[in-house]
Amino acid sequence: MDNIYFWSPSVQFKTENGELKVECFNYGKKCAEFFPELYYIAQDGATPEQLKEHFPENKRVFLNSLIRDFIKKKILVKSVITPAELFYSQKKLFHNEYPDDMRFVREKLEAFRIKQTNRRMFSGDVSYILEKTGQGELLENRCSVREFSDDVISYYDFSSVMGILQSKPETHKRYYPSAGGLAVIDVYVHIKAGRVEGIREGLYYYDPVVNSIVFMNDGKGIVSDAHYFTNKEISEGSAFTVYFVYNVGAGMPKYGGMSYYYGIIESGILIAMLTMSGEKTGIGSCSIGDMVYEKIAPCFNLNDNQILLHSMEFGYKKNR
């Protein structure tokens, strides 16, 4: 199975004027000769050798470099693809009435946000206005924190936040729900230099069984330019960062492809739990929706069945 590649389910190709086009890449006429056969074979999975066997010998050297390029660009894949790869095709299916530049104009984006947050999808003759109960101080004051205090996080507060992820030895369960109780999210934490009491700078694996963090490396490979511009400062100022990794092997044997979906939901639950356990101790947080995970992935020493999904920045709030 190790060397078996599949045509990525999220990648489309076509031949136009005799030229091969794979998503945004134009491979030209010479490459078009291998299509659609190569696609059909790779749909079912094949090693590079098996792929080449289907074509005349005098074309195999050329085909070899094409296959290598497809592998590099993740057109041919041999393990579960990332959420960015998996979901990007969905945009095509949605008719967007807004101009693309709306995303980059602050005022337009804010107007869009307010419209969305106030949307009401249904109104009817019968409705019950619910009582104003209040949501308690913690929730009333919660908001994403993007500038953190320089204060060193106490070992106790750090333990209190991370501890909600532990496995309970008596029941082999967690403090949060997960599909089938499989707890498919692996957690890693990057501790910044001198920012958490008594803990050396570095990247750690959170071990839920012992409720400990286990040193992996100095974390220097977690470079700030993996972040998109607006998130750089948030990550530079935080005391620690939590990374959520979907463990394919923990979920797919039971739930198949839906396990990926459940893993994303589980990750959302963890985000909410960590947010709230942070709030209790004056530790603010900010979710980071997207970053160039390829730039930092090597640090995590993940296997093919682990996918980086999300990260969250943490630090004491200013004026807590």
Ligand X SMILES: Cc1cc2nc3c(=O)[nH]c(=O)nc-3n(C[C@H](O)[C@H](O)[C@H](O)COP(=O)(O)O)c2cc1C
Residues 46, 37 contacting (CB under 8 angstroms): no
* DSSP H or E stretch at residue 85: helix 83-87
Is 308 one of the binding residues for ligand X (CB under 6 A)? no
Residues 280, 139 contacting (CB under 8 angstroms): no
Closest distance to ligand X from the beta carbon of 226 (Å): 12
Closest distance to ligand X from the beta carbon of 294 (Å): 17
Closest distance to ligand X from the beta carbon of 146 (Å): 6
Is 288 one of the binding residues for ligand X (CB under 6 A)? yes
Is 289 one of the binding residues for ligand X (CB under 6 A)? yes
Nearer to ligand X by Cβ, of 10 and 267: the residue is 267
- State the distance between the two ends of the chain, measured CA to CA, in whole angstroms: 53
Closest distance to ligand X from the beta carbon of 144 (Å): 3
Is 287 one of the binding residues for ligand X (CB under 6 A)? yes
The contact mask relative to ligand X for 194-233 (x = CB under 6 A, - = no) is -------------------------------------x--
Is 272 one of the binding residues for ligand X (CB under 6 A)? no
Residues 300, 245 contacting (CB under 8 angstroms): yes
Residues 2, 41 contacting (CB under 8 angstroms): no
Give the interface segment with ligand X, choosing from 41-49, 52-60, 178-186, 283-291 (CB under 6 A).
283-291
Closest distance to ligand X from the beta carbon of 272 (Å): 9
State the virtual CA torsion across 137, 139, 144, 148 in degrees, nearest 10.
Answer: 30
Closest distance to ligand X from the beta carbon of 59 (Å): 45
Q: Which residues lie closer than 8 Å to 238 by C-beta, 6 or more apart?
A: 148, 192, 195, 286, 313, 314, 315
* DSSP H or E stretch at residue 261: helix 258-280
The one among 54, 59, 78, 146 contacting ligand X by CB under 6 A: 146
Alpha-carbon distances, residue 258 vs 215, 245, 248, 263 (angstroms): 32, 16, 11, 9
Closest distance to ligand X from the beta carbon of 234 (Å): 6
Nearer to ligand X by Cβ, of 198 and 289: the residue is 289
Residue type, 97: E
Shortest Cβ contact with ligand X: which residue? 289
**Phi, psi for 245 (deg, rounded to 5):** -125, 125
The token duo for 175 is 């403090």
Nearer to ligand X by Cβ, of 8 and 277: the residue is 277
Looking from the CA of 172 toward its CB, the CA atoms found within 13 Å total 3
Is 286 one of the binding residues for ligand X (CB under 6 A)? yes
Using CB under 6 A as the binding criterion, the count of chain residues that bind ligand X stands at 9
Q: Which of residues 66-105 bind ligand X (CB under 6 A)?
A: none
The contact mask relative to ligand X for 116-145 (x = CB under 6 A, - = no) is ---------------------------xx-
In 3D space, the residue among 242, 267, 247, 243 whose CA is nearest the CA of residue 184 turns out to be 247
C-alpha 222/C-alpha 212 separation (Å) is 21
Nearer to ligand X by Cβ, of 247 and 275: the residue is 275
Per-residue DSSP letter, 169: T
Give the interface segment with ligand X, choosing from 77-85, 154-162, 216-224, 286-294 (CB under 6 A).
286-294
**Phi, psi for 16 (deg, rounded to 5):** -130, 125
Nearer to ligand X by Cβ, of 143 and 258: the residue is 143
Is 115 one of the binding residues for ligand X (CB under 6 A)? no
Contacting positions for ligand X (CB under 6 A): 143-144, 146, 231, 234, 286-289
